[in-house]
A and B are shown apart, each in its own frame.
Chain A
Amino acid sequence: MKNESQKKTITERLVKASGAKWLCLIIGIMVVFFYVRPIGLPVPISQTTKSFYDVIEALPENSVVGIQNVLTPTGYAEQKGQVIAIYTHLFVRPLKLVFFNVWVATSPPIVATAMELVPREVLQKRQYGKDYAIYGYVAGEERSMVAIGNNFWDAYPVDTAGTPTSSIPMMSGIRTAKDFAVIVHICAMFPSTDAAIRVWIQTFKVRVVMAVDSSNYMALMPYYPAIVPAILNGVRGGAEYEILIKRPGDSLAFTDAISGMAVILIGALFVGNVLFYQRKQVKT
Chain B
Amino acid sequence: MVDISAILLGWLSVFFILTVLSIVFVGDNFWFDISENVMIGAAVGNLIVVSWETLRNTAIYSLFRGQYLYVVPIGLGLLLFSRFSKNYSWLGRYGIAVLVGTGLGITTRALVYSQFILQIIGTFDDLKLGINGYISLVMIICIMGYFLFTFDKPKQILEPMRRIGRVSMMIGFAAGYVSLLMSTYSNVVSNFHTIVDVIRRTFGI
Contact = CB atoms under 8 A, between A and B. Distances in A.
Main secondary structure of the interface of A (DSSP, over half): helix
A124 B193 CA distance: 29
Given A105-B51, A136-B57, A198-B114, 9 more contacts: A27-B188, A27-B189, A31-B192, A138-B54, A143-B106, A198-B110, A199-B106, A223-B119, A253-B193
Interface of B: 21, 23-25, 27-28, 43, 46-47, 50-51, 53-54, 57-58, 61-62, 65, 102-103, 106-107, 109-111, 113-115, 118-119, 121-123, 125-126, 175-176, 178-183, 185-193, 196, 200
A226 B121 CA distance: 7
5 contacts: A106-B46, A138-B58, A157-B57, A227-B118, A227-B121
Interface string A37-62: 00000000000000000000000000
Given A80-B190, A262-B182, A9 B51 contact: no
A35 B199 CA distance: 12
B114 A137 contact: no
A78 B181 CA distance: 12
A31 B193 contact: yes
A254 B196 CA distance: 12
A108 B53 CA distance: 11
Most chain A beta-carbon contacts within 10 A, residue among B51, B110, B190? B190
A234 B183 contact: yes
A95 interface: no
A157 B63 CA distance: 11
Interface of A: 8-9, 11-12, 15, 20-21, 24, 27-28, 30-32, 35, 74, 77-78, 80, 105-106, 108-109, 136-139, 141-143, 146, 154-158, 162, 194-195, 197-199, 201-203, 213-215, 217-219, 222-227, 234-235, 250, 253-254, 257-258, 261-262, 265, 269
B58 A78 contact: no
B188 to A, nearest CB: 5
Top 9 A-B pairs, shortest CB-CB distance:
A226-B125, A31-B192, A77-B190, A214-B183, A198-B110, A105-B50, A215-B183, A202-B110, A78-B186
A136 B115 contact: no
Contacts of B62: 154, 157
Given A24-B24, A157-B62, A78 B187 contact: yes
Contact of A77 (B65, B103, B191): B191
Given A31-B196, A108-B50, A198-B110, A78 B102 contact: no
Contacts of B196: 31-32, 35
Residue of B61, B62, B180, B182 with highest tally of chain A CB at under 10 A: B182
Contacts of B24: 15, 20-21, 24
B118 A223 contact: yes
